[in-house]
Structure 1
Amino acid sequence: MREALAEAAFQLFLERGYEQTTVDDIVARAGVGRRSFFRYFPSKEDAVFPDHESCLADMTALLDGRDGPDPVGAVCDAARLVMRMYAANPEFSVQRYGLTQEVPGLRTYELSVVRRYEGTLAGYLRRRWAESPDGGLRADVVAAAVVAAHNNALRSWLRSGGVGDAEAAVDHALGLVRDVWGSAAGVPAADGVRVTVPKRAAQGAPGGRGDGPAAESDDDVIVMVASRRAPMWRVVQSIEAAMAAG
């Protein structure tokens, strides 16, 4: 019923225009009563975006199951769910994009949906970086960057009429985000500094080199790669953040 109502609504929006189509028109086309419409959609706007609620639920479920060492990779994977939702039905997605650009109310509604996706990503990162310096700020910045990169690539694909490989375009855009922010320890690589924190010192692992107290130490090892152009304050800040995150 939900799909039938959404299909009827979208057909009418394309035929008559969004503003000229009423809920009564939609239920008449679908052959149901008004109460059935509002059981599934609070408003006409919701009928234009019937798939976002399930995508948000899938995104939340994916992130709930990701507690590995790469939180930035997790939110990039979560963002790809949105791209795949659009790419699964290119014709509908392109038509919806065109309709959204024509109707100010739909653009506003779409922005509210984007904020919900961004809030879901940021909430996950805040939990992962709760003990890190500026963890909340970093979470908001990374989430915004992921959404911006994803949407830039996705909208370029939609403006092209759905021509080309949407997944490759989004992967490229998200790769730029990971180049700046991604690292195994969840500490951003910025200003030419990348820091990782292995779980155990290599020399203390079975078969590692060295004997005595150094080989038996449980202290973690910080591995850093820094550009010659990286300012010293950034190097020190990155090391401190990695130690705190560990």
Structure 2
Amino acid sequence: MSSPSAAPGRGAKPPIRDALIAAAFELFPERGYERTTVDDIVALAGVGRRSFFRYFPSKEDVVFPDHERCLADMTAFLAASGADDEPVRRVCDAARLVLGMYAENPAFSVQRYRLTKEVPGLRAYELSVVWRYERALAGYLRGRFARRADGILRADVVAAAVVAAHNNALRSWLRSHGRGDAGAEVDHALGHVRSAFGAGPPPPAPGPRSDGPGDDVVVLVARRDAPVWRVVQEFEATRTAPGQG
């Protein structure tokens, strides 16, 4: 997937779509999202108003320029799944496509995260995008679990768990200003989903490994049928408790 604000080569003129995104994110911090108009964006990008709507149906869409492409990639990835693919692992792998979109350009992703936190309308828009990812995962799982008596329920629960685990790790990375290994954080979170729903044990927690004395070790005991959101919640509580760093 292409970066949403990839820098063009020296002396090259950025494509219109990239120029519009760059102009929008130059203006939003200066004027504020609400006070920045489409006319302002196209004027700075040096293109006509019609060009904006050729690429983006609305001003909100310029904030999330690659989600449609990522959703299409995810849908194609799930559709290409074979009968031998373990379904929970497959949807976890699909979720990593979303991570890849964010991690490809950390500076842009952090800037968008900050903007989204400040603008209620963008938060609502983001939730609608997240819901579409969740529906894509659930649709695939419903097909794979169709022969189970609780197939629809299980599909919807697993899809929601994948999204919750992915977003928990992703937002933690964004709050750290894009520092650290986002892939390791997401893998660790998704490992809890695989463990809870029978697709393998969770991987070790990310971070530098040390076997020396005095290391902080967290042992979390949970019922096998415990909801994954509860496991994640309890784990996060141990990380923020006094004496846990």
TM-score by length of 1: 0.74
Q: CA deviation at 1:170?
A: 0.2
Q: 2-side partners of 1:51 and 1:69: how far apart?
A: 27
Shift of 1:77: 0.3
Aligned to 2:22: 7
Compute the RMSD of aligned alpha carbons. 1.5
Residue 116 of structure 1 corresponds to 132
Distance 2:172 2:25 in 1: 22
Instruction: Name the SS of the counterpart of 1:86 in structure 2.
Output: helix
Query: Per-residue CA shift, 1:163-206, capped at 9, x if unaligned?
Result: 1100000000000000011349xxxxx9648xxxxxxxxxxxxx
Displacement over 2 Å in runs of 4+: 190-193
Aligned length: 188
Contact 1:122 1:139 in 2 (8 A): yes
1:140 to partner: Cα distance: 0.4
Match of 1:199 in 2: none
Q: CA deviation at 1:106?
A: 0.5
Q: Aligned-pair distance for 1:29? A: 0.8
Q: Structure 2: 5+ residue runs without aligned partners?
A: 1-15, 201-221, 226-245
1:142-221 equivalences under 5 Å are 142-183=158-199, 192=224
Displacement of 1:35 in angstroms is: 1.0
Residue 18 (1) aligns with residue 52 (2):
no
1:45 maps to which residue? 60
Which TM-score applies when normalising by structure 2?
Answer: 0.74
Q: Which of 146, 158, 162 is the matching residue for 1:130?
A: 146
Identity of aligned residues (%): 74
Partner of 2:111: 95
- The 3-state SS of whatever aligns with 1:115 is helix
Structure 2 SS opposite 1:36: helix
1:35 partnered with 2:46: no
Q: Is the 8 A contact 1:70 1:182 kept in 2?
A: no
Other-structure match for 1:139 = 155
SS of structure 1 residue aligned to 2:168: helix
* 1:54 corresponds to 2:69: yes
Structure 1 SS opposite 2:188: helix
Letter in 2 for 1:65: A
2:75 is the alignment partner of 1:70 = no
With over 3 angstroms needed to count, the CA separation of the structure-2 counterparts of 1:19 and 1:192, relative to structure 1, is closer
Q: Distance in 1 between matches of 2:224 and 2:24?
A: 51
Residues 1:104 and 2:140 are matched in the alignment: no
Contact 1:87–1:166 (CA under 8 A) maintained in structure 2: yes
1:81 and 2:97 are equivalent in the alignment: yes
Give the CA deviation at 1:69: 3.6
SS in 2 for 1:132: coil
Report if aligned partners of 1:73, 1:182 keep a CA contact under 8 Å in 2.
no
User: How far apart in 1 are the matches of 2:85 and 2:77?
Assistant: 15
